Amino acid sequence: MVRIVLTGFRGTGKTRVGELLAHMLGVPFFDTDALIEKRVGMTIYEIFQKHGEEYFRKKECETIASLKLADSVVSTGGGAIMNPSNVTALRQGSTVFLLTADDRTVEQRISRTERPSLTKLPLREEIHELQAIRRPFYIASADFCINTTRKNANETALVLRHILAEGTLTLKDATSLLSFVRRTPIAPEEADALELTLTSPGRDPLTRIYAVAGNPCNHSLSPILFNRLFSQYRMNCHYTRLCWPDFGEIIREAKKTDIRGLSVTVPFKKEALDYIGEADEHVKAIGAANTLVMCEGTIFGFNTDWTGIRDPVRHLKGSRAAVIGAGGAAAAAVYALQSLDMDVTIFTRSPAKAEDLAARFSVQVEPLSGISKTEPDVLINATPVGMGSDTWSPVEVSMLKQGMTVYDLVYTPADTPLLKAARKAGCITIPGTEMFVGQACAQFRCFTGIEVPPAIVRGYVI
């Protein structure tokens, strides 16, 4: 038995479902709103009226931090997951269920309740706006997602009890996933660890599975990093690799075996768009996704690459920049640099292949030989050239000028042929591990809702 946490918007049934589930399991039930009222000596409505939302959120944070990690069912307030410290406190050592319902159902359920407005909008509009804002946070901070629109509280509680007992991954499907992984070029010890997690006699049916999907993806540091983070934050999750040439087959296997999230790497970041049910604004702008999260049968797509690219060059705002490449990483690089008001030009061996990318961002595309003519302040390699045992640099040494900032998004090896050449030319160099750290922090937040400090990620991978 573990602590069970229920999250979700008002009217999704958290309190009543929590009470029923706690009774079924024979454990205590705690409602954080009720605990806050007891702590302050006022109703939630009175707290908002007298002290305002900021005061309420402070008391909410204190209350959640005081919860014991013990067998129990905890129901949280609708906005609790907007505070990163709340998410970290609730996620550790717990199984988190997100309860959802459509706007109309929520309105029907809460229209006669006494609760202060948070937006001053009409009720239906407020519900729609707040649900849209909170949805990514709800999805990230949950292990399992349950739609209660057509379920009463008792039916929902029974669904949760069944999941707690059986999980959502049958032994048959677990064996299928293991078979899929073993026919890919994955290290034997990683396959053995997955087998122990999925099919051993003492397996935990509540373990959630994540993976990196690519071809190749054995270079990825993500399994090492995320499994260490899951352990650090006491999360019942396991991260593996899905190295396969057919992304559609990867997605079909992921859906069948209820994989919770995927890190998408080369060459599938653009193809991932074909499978996303709901994309964030960055995916739509970039035209590529590197993070997929599954919830209620829908695949939610995110792009965290651009944040990892932007942050190490933030101090160079307004510079001239050259991006080498025409794939998903190049698109993320252009997007990141334009957010810093940089004048960006795309360079590639085959300019015709970059026309769509150039048109999307209204930038020029030139052959690689033209880099020297533009005299960029910043040069970013967004191709796989230099990865692994590849000894090539994507540009000639003569194109590298003293004082230029050269950022290679390849991170295995950490010291690529391009970076070695750039240092000899007197350039300022940024290794791809910095991009990996930044995007991994953002990706872990998409997967779990937890904001992990970059220093922790850097310590695990560098």
Instruction: Answer positive or negative: Cα dihedral of 310, 315, 321, 324.
Output: negative
Rg (CA), the chain: 24
Task: Please give the biggest Cα pair distance in the chain.
Answer: 73
Dihedral angle computed from the Cα positions of residues 187, 389, 441 and 206, in that order, rounded to the nearest 10 degrees: -10
CA 406 to CA 435: how far, in whole Å? 13
* Structure tokens belonging to residue 297: 């049968």
CA 276 to CA 100: how far, in whole Å? 19
Q: Buried b / exposed e across 314-341, counting CB within 10 Å, b at 16+?
A: eebeebbbbbbbbbbbbbbbbbbbbbbe
Q: Out of 38, 151, 255, 269, which one is annotated catalytic?
A: 269
Decide if 269 is catalytic. yes
Beta bridge pairs of residue 7: 98
Active site residues: 269
